[in-house]
Amino acid sequence: MSRRPIVVRLAVAITVALAALLAVPAASATPVPGALAGQVYVALGDSYTSSPLTGPIAGPPPGCLRSVNNYPHLVAGRTGARLTDVSCSGAQTRDLGAPQTVQGGQNPPQYDALGAGTQLVTVGIGGNDIGFGEIVQSCVSPTPFGTPCRDRYTAGGTDQLAARVDELAGRLDDVLDEVHDRAPDARVLLVGYPSVLPAQGPGCYPVVPYTAGDVEYLRGVLADLNDTIARAAADGEATYVDTFTPTVGHDVCALPGTRWIEGLVPTAPAAPVHPNALGAEALSRAVLATLGVPAAA
């Protein structure tokens, strides 16, 4: 989820060649009659929102890898809301207010999709601000021993990742202020990140080559990130969507079929260390539950 992480670069490079193989039809859903039917819904976010390679690309530019099977599309299909999805892989908070250059063109400032008539907004952002793609790559260890990742990020007595999360808090406040300014009558949901690593235990070295000590450290970083997002929602007149709790046990170390977040080498159509189609469905269920909409008929 960094601005140009290797996982996104690789995904962009293979998208055209594998589009037919990876094109999983969007899950069908009967819209639930109710207050959300026909509402103007805008989805902002990064690759955990756009859900790369889980289905055909939904709209330009192709480098955003925005899937028709991502949670905004699934939520819209279930509720009958009228979706404008401007999420883009690699997006940081700064890309919400400025053009983001990706392969095949530029994604316009995501805020531009908002307006006075917007009634529902989901925002999934922040992982790239703390360097998700960098962390995914740099924490790979050639041996299962020690805590090389933690040692790298805490060298000199300062936890760099904790500092990045602290800096993100102010940016999220600014994001919510801007969203409310542009869409003053919208219900705003701030979406957290799922359980990427096992919630307990040492991990699954060498399948996912992070040491047990680093798995514990990174688990804490993700918890800190989600806590920061939840506090920003509470302080910014938004509703936090907990996607961590309902995805516990479906992390990168789970078996195929049970795994909702793919590992460094995906076994199902998805970008590395990103939700697959089952994961996107799980995120949609979390959003729907927050909205008070049943996830299935």
Distance in angstroms (rounded) separating the CA atoms of residues 76 and 241: 16
Q: Smallest Cα–Cα separation from 166: which of 76, 92, 231?
A: 231
Q: Is the pLDDT of residue 228 over 80?
A: yes
Rounded to 5°, the CA angle 245-168-65 comes to: 70
Q: What tokens appear for 167 in the block?
A: 């800096």
Distance in angstroms (rounded) separating the CA atoms of residues 137 and 134: 5
Of the candidates 47, 50, 141, 195, the residue annotated as catalytic is 47
| Mean pLDDT of all residues belonging to the chain | 91
Contact 57, 67 (CB under 8 A): yes
Residue 34 has what pLDDT?
72
Residue 30 has what pLDDT?
62
Residue 28 has, within 13 A of its CA and on its CB side, a CA count of 1
- Residue ranges with strand state E in 110-228: 120-124, 187-191
pLDDT tens-place string over residues 72-97: 999 999 999 999 999 999 999 999 99
CATH architecture of the domain formed by 6-291: 3-Layer(aba) Sandwich (3.40)
Cβ partners under 8 Å of residue 213, min gap 6: 146, 147, 150
For range 232-258, the mean pLDDT? 98
73 an active-site residue? no
Q: How many angstroms separate the most distant Cα atoms in the chain?
A: 57
Q: How far apart are the first and last CA of the chain?
A: 34
pLDDT tens-place string over residues 262-286: 999 999 999 999 999 999 999 999 9
Of the candidates 2, 141, 274, 284, the residue annotated as catalytic is 274
Q: Which amino acid is at 239?
A: T
State which H helix or E strand residue 210 sits in: none
Q: Within 10 Å of residue 90's Cβ, how many Cβ atoms?
A: 28
pLDDT tens-place string over residues 6-40: 343 444 444 333 433 343 444 445 666 677 999 99
Does pTM surpass 0.85?
Answer: yes
Q: Is the pLDDT of residue 296 over 70?
A: no
For range 171-196, the mean pLDDT? 98
Distance in angstroms (rounded) separating the CA atoms of residues 125 and 94: 10
Residue 44 has what pLDDT?
98
Residue 14 has what pLDDT?
40
250 an active-site residue? no
